[in-house]
Amino acid sequence: MNITKFDPLHNIYRLNNLMNDAFGLDLFEHGETTESGTWTPRVDIIEDKERYILTADLPGVHKKNIEISYDAGILSIKGERENKLSKEDELEGKKVHRVERFYGSYYRSFKLPEAIDDTSIEAKYENGVLAVSIPKAEKEIKRQIEIK
């Protein structure tokens, strides 16, 4: 028996995701959005003198279900939050009354500035919060060229 949550606002969430992808405009400023069983973790990106710090809220996600990759200037985070409510063996003798949390796969990608040190990116996961440290590359040293 699979429990499926009816979502009468499905098309509005899809429009929100399309607007966010196209224009960086989030029509809703709260919580997670859903589309076809997916959810979107909320992310903060902060810059200081030495690095960019990306922080993502991933409550209920096991570390083994998080994958971070970097390719051609794009940092990607993907994985899955398992839905234990859909497993009959874990619900034996229990009755589900309400399901409001989002489960399933997630995927976020971020274009990074060119001036980063991609060999020194580090990630830490603690208490449901993923922190990715992206060091800036040393800037090119400007020098005067002597004409001979």
Question: Is-above-0.85 flag for pTM?
Answer: no
CB count in 10 Å sphere of residue 9? 12
Give the class (CATH, top level) of 37-135. mainly beta
Percentage, residues of the chain above pLDDT 90: 33
Residue keyed to tokens 């800037």: 139
- What mean pLDDT value characterizes the chain? 79
The H-or-E segment that residue 80 falls in is strand 74-81
Supply the pLDDT for residue 124.
96
Q: Computed from CA positions of residues 61, 45, 76, 15, in that sequence, does the dihedral angle turn out positive or negative?
A: positive
What is the separation, in whole angstroms, between the first and last Cα of the chain? 81
Q: In the structure encoding, which two tokens stand for residue 119, read together?
A: 């060999």
**Tens of pLDDT, residues 27-57:** 554 444 334 446 889 999 999 888 999 999 9
Q: What is the mean pLDDT of residues 3-23?
A: 71
Q: Where are the domains of the chain?
A: 7-35, 37-135
pLDDT of residue 17: 75
Say which residue, 5 or 68, is predicted with more confidence: 68
